[in-house]
Amino acid sequence: MKKGLGVLKYGFVLLIVLLSLGPFLWVLMASFKTNTEILNNSLGWPSSFRFSNYVMAFKIAPLSRFYINSVIVGIFGTLLNLLLLGMAGYVLARFQFRFKNLLMGAFSLSLLIPGAAMLQPLYLTVNTLGLYDKVIGLIIVYAGFGLPVSLYILSSYFLTIPKGMEESAYLDGASFIQTFFRIILPISKPGFGTAGVMQFLLCWNEFQFAIILTTGNQSRTLPLALYYFKSQFASDYGVMFAATMVVIVPSILVYILLQKQVVSGLAAGAVKG
Amino acid sequence: MVRKNKGYITLFLLPTVVLFIVVYAVSIVILFGTSFTEWSSGRKPVFIGLANYIQLFTDDSDFRKSFLNTGLWVLLQSTIHVAIGTAFAIILNMKEFYWKFARTVYMFPNIISGAAVGMLFLCMLNPDFGAVNSIVRLFGHADYAQNWFMDYTTAFFSVTMTWLPYAAVVTILILAEIAAIPESLFESARIDGASELKIIFYIILPMLRNIIGTCVILAGTSMLQKMDIIMMTTGGGPGNETMNLPIYIYKTALMENNFGYSNSVGVFLIGFGLVFVLLCRNLFRIGSSQN
């Protein structure tokens, strides 16, 4: 009985690890192969570790353009979201005022709206504002999508800060704005870190709005680069594999570096009822 | 605090309120308003009452299939997916030598974009050179090798497998919650001679009710916007075999320019999500205290 349970346990873990790592390693290996090798020797090692597929991936597709766009959208989408939601979250966590419940209700309702339902209306709004096919359009939309999660993480963090901190700042003559930027922001770093990682991942991985709010290659982001490869280079497998790796590997490296922050972010992002 | 802060409160809230209005409020007004109209791009919307909704339910097999698929995926995701994630968390919590490695690796497919996961599986399941068919052939069952994503019998299953096993988010949430259970509870159970299995079923799982309910909601609702992987792998095909409501909305709105109709599907999707969330909250008694 006990032994059987152990086998089941290890088998389960092994299967999970294999399912997670397998596709990734197989594509990594294939990214060094030539087209013939891929077709004839799909499971074996590449005959040599050549990087020509990677060079080609950057040459024939605007991969670097997609990269730059993703970095810009990721950084500014996150900064905008954190700044605005930090300010709003602070006020909502600390002060009583009219319409507060109404606002909180409206903000938390946004959590219940599946993004897909808003595809056409948002397309219309972005178009009307003249932001269609512009990186700034994506930045604003993503900052908005992160609203419920960031608000939840940040305001719960602000609630843990003792009120005495601000009161003594006021007594020392600091203004409201000074108190927020000089006292509250620095001590809330962990909260901002968590919300920031969540928000950055959202910006970095988003697909459905990126595809309807942009056209051509000028303002498209990395997830769309893969879509582009899928249709343009369907027969050039090695290049396709290399491009996939180029998109995936940085995410994984960043994850390994920021593991703690990501994990606590996911745990904090859970909306507890 | 005795100071007058009204001005600052407004100043701090205003940008977020504007953002909320631009991204959500305006969208929802457009969505509901135009769902009762006949409206295609370049024209003015014309009020047609409930005609869109009537057509959805009486005369639209693509919609029926999308609804059915979405429902089935929500069901699978909120049961099997959550169960896999929970089981893995409970095993990892035993902290054997491999647990850090396993946890890290398990996060990979969850941290990279859905488009990338779609691409990985598109390669793995390629009919000519994909690893899965190669393994099938290796074992001499060449007749089982097929075009997984484009075959009517396997497409739904193949697409499902690109997200069903990857429940690392569930695992992380459950691990965090298990860590919050006081150690003394386990100790006294062990002193009383409870087996590992009994501890899992009588102590850990009951204490996780709230968080499992949350995971069910998160996993289920994530299926209400699944689009990236489907777009990458099958595009909803073959036929409408792997179509879901988001893909259907995308198709009717941006490929057929049938805005009014597409928005009535959007309204339906929101309603579907609300019913699901309310159902889960009741089922798991989320919000009420433990026990």
B153 Cα to chain A: minimum distance (Å): 22
Q: Can you tell me the distance from the alpha carbon of A144 to that of A80, in angstroms, rounded to the nearest whole number?
A: 9
Least confident of A188-197, B42-51, B118-127, B279-288: B279-288
Tens of pLDDT, residue by residue over B169-195, are 999 999 999 988 888 888 888 888 888
Residue B291 clears pLDDT 50, i.e. is over it: no
Q: Can you tell me the distance from the alpha carbon of A100 to that of A78, in angstroms, rounded to the nearest whole number?
A: 25
> How many Cβ pairs within 8 Å bridge chains A and B?
287
Task: State residue A234's pLDDT score.
Answer: 66
Q: List the single residue in B with minimal CA-CA distance to A93.
A: B9
Take residue A232 and report the two structure tokens written for it: 């343009």
For A201-257, the DSSP string reads HHHHH--HHHHHH--TTTT--HHHHHHHHHHHSTT-HHHHHHHHHHHHHHHHHHHHH
Pairwise CB contact (< 8 Å): B269 & A223 = no
Please, which residues 192-211 of chain B have a Cβ atom closer than 8 Å to chain A?
196-197, 210-211
Its sign, for the CA torsion A140, A145, A148, A154, is negative
**Is the Cβ of B263 closer than 8 Å to some Cβ of chain A?**
yes
Residue of B9, B93, B103 for testing the chain A interface, max A β-carbons within 10 Å: B9
Pairwise CB contact (< 8 Å): A17 & B173 = no
Q: The pTM is what?
A: 0.91
B34 chain-A contacts, CB cut-off 8 A: 121
Q: Can you tell me the distance from the alpha carbon of A65 to that of B140, in angstroms, rounded to the nearest whole number?
A: 45
Task: State residue B288's pLDDT score.
Answer: 65
Residue B126 confidence class, pLDDT cut points 50, 70, 90 = confident
Task: State residue B157's pLDDT score.
Answer: 95
A151 chain-B contacts, CB cut-off 8 A: 16
Higher pLDDT, A273 or A255: A255
Residue of B1, B3, B11, B16 for testing the chain A interface, max A β-carbons within 10 Å: B16
Single-letter amino acid code for the residue at A4:
G
Residue A272 clears pLDDT 50, i.e. is over it: no
- Give the mean pLDDT of chain A: 89
**Closest residue to A227, CB basis, from B109, B231, B270:** B231
Average pLDDT over residues B262-284: 94
Distances (CA, A) of B21 to A107, B17, B28: 10, 6, 10
Tens of pLDDT, residue by residue over B214-260, are 999 999 999 999 999 999 999 998 999 999 999 999 999 988 999 99
Higher pLDDT, A229 or B262: B262
Task: State residue B130's pLDDT score.
Answer: 86
Tens of pLDDT, residue by residue over A167-186, are 888 888 888 889 999 889 99
Pairwise CB contact (< 8 Å): B270 & A113 = yes
A223 Cα to chain B: minimum distance (Å): 5
Residue B137 confidence class, pLDDT cut points 50, 70, 90 = confident
